[in-house]
Amino acid sequence: MPDITVTTPGAPCWLELTTSDPARSQEFYSALFGWDAATGDEVLYGGYVSFNSGNRRVAGAMKKQDDAPYPDTWSVYLLTTDATETAAAIAEAGGTNMFEPMSVPEMGVMGFATDATGATVGYWQSGQHTGYQVEREHGAPVWCELLASDFDKAVEFYEKAFGWTLKNEDTGDDFRYMVFEKDGQQLCGIYDAAQMLAGEPPTWAVYFGSSDVDATVAQALELGATIKDEATDTPYGRIATFTDPTGAVCRVMSI
């Protein structure tokens, strides 16, 4: 497939792993998905790791602070054309900016926030770095969704903060799901996960493509992962969830 560039404001445009052991994470994901890893300048970029799939940007990784009170995790960045305006909209919608939008030399402008329900979400204003360049392939982003502890509050927040237009998805099951859709393209979703979370904090779920979910899970286990949810057939494809060797939750979906 040709390189892609995310251009829709509010759509997921970058995925980032915060890890307690960057070297172990590089080893794991490079073996699992065939990614190449490149470490950026320590002074300019703090040793940020860029993962590439076939010479195309696919995701990033950064070292977690030693005293961070949260587990290793995958995060989602949503595209913005003006990070300063987005920061203001986040605050007005009931979220909390963790810091003022920060310029990344030559690359773009980044921000990170807690939404009105307590889930963390990033936002990115592109410079030379326009986000991931491949999707819906093996080892590439396929889908992102917010596992919401307060569905109605989450819907209201993302509509206000990121200008989403949400559409009810008829799942045929006894739960609520809404999709951010633009020009007929489904971009990401919000899942009413209150019962599933059972008191755990809301979070963004990231799904990577797999040409063979069962084989990918088996390989992940051999590489040190721990199964969280066994591979299951769904109306959207075969899905499985595992915890990588440093503790980050990773999901795979058939393509």
- Is residue 68 a contact partner of residue 14, using CB atoms and an 8 Å limit? no
| Model confidence band, residue 43 (pLDDT cutoffs 50, 70, 90) | very low
- What is the end-to-end Cα distance of the chain in Å, rounded? 13
pLDDT at position 124:
98
CA–CA gap between residue 223 and residue 79 (Å, rounded): 33
- Res 172: pLDDT: 62
How confident is the model over 124-137, as pLDDT tens digits? Answer: 999 999 999 999 99
Is the distance from CB of 30 to CB of 37 less than 8 angstroms?
yes
pLDDT given for residue 155 in this prediction: 97
pLDDT the model gives residue 47:
73
Question: How does DSSP classify residue 69?
Answer: S
pLDDT at 120: 96
What's the burial of 244, exposed, middle or buried (CB within 10 Å: 0-12/13-18/19+)?
buried
CA-to-CA distance for 33 and 44, rounded, in angstroms?
A: 28
* Exposure class string for 74-85: b at 16+ Cβ within 10 A, else e: bbbbbbbeebee
What is the pTM for the complete model shown? 0.94
Q: Is the pLDDT of residue 41 over 60?
A: no
Structural domains of the chain, ranges and CATH numbers in brackets = 12-126 (3.10.180.10), 141-254 (3.10.180.10)
* pLDDT over 70 (residue 244): yes
pLDDT of residue 123: 98
The three-class DSSP label of residue 102 is strand
Maximum mean pLDDT: which of 35-44, 55-64, 87-96: 87-96
Selection from 154, 147, 124, 106 nearest residue 59 by Cα: 124
Report the alpha-carbon distance of residue 146 to residue 122 in Å, rounded. Answer: 13
Q: What is the pLDDT of residues 76-110, one digit of tens each?
A: 999 999 999 999 999 999 999 999 999 998 899 99
Give the helix/strand (H/E) hosting 145: strand 141-148
- Give the per-residue pLDDT at 242: 97
Percent of the chain at pLDDT exceeding 90: 80
* Mean of all residue pLDDT scores within the chain: 92
Residue bearing the bigger pLDDT, 15 or 198: 15
pLDDT tens per residue, range 158-197: 999 999 999 988 666 677 999 999 998 999 999 999 888 8
Residues 199, 206 contacting (CB under 8 angstroms): no
- Determine which helix (DSSP H) or strand (DSSP E) holds 249, and give its type and residue range: strand 249-254
Q: 83-92 vs 151-162: helix axis angle to the nearest 10?
A: 150
Q: Are residues 27 and 9 in contact, defined by beta-carbon separation less than 8 angstroms?
A: no
Q: Is the pLDDT of residue 214 over 90?
A: yes
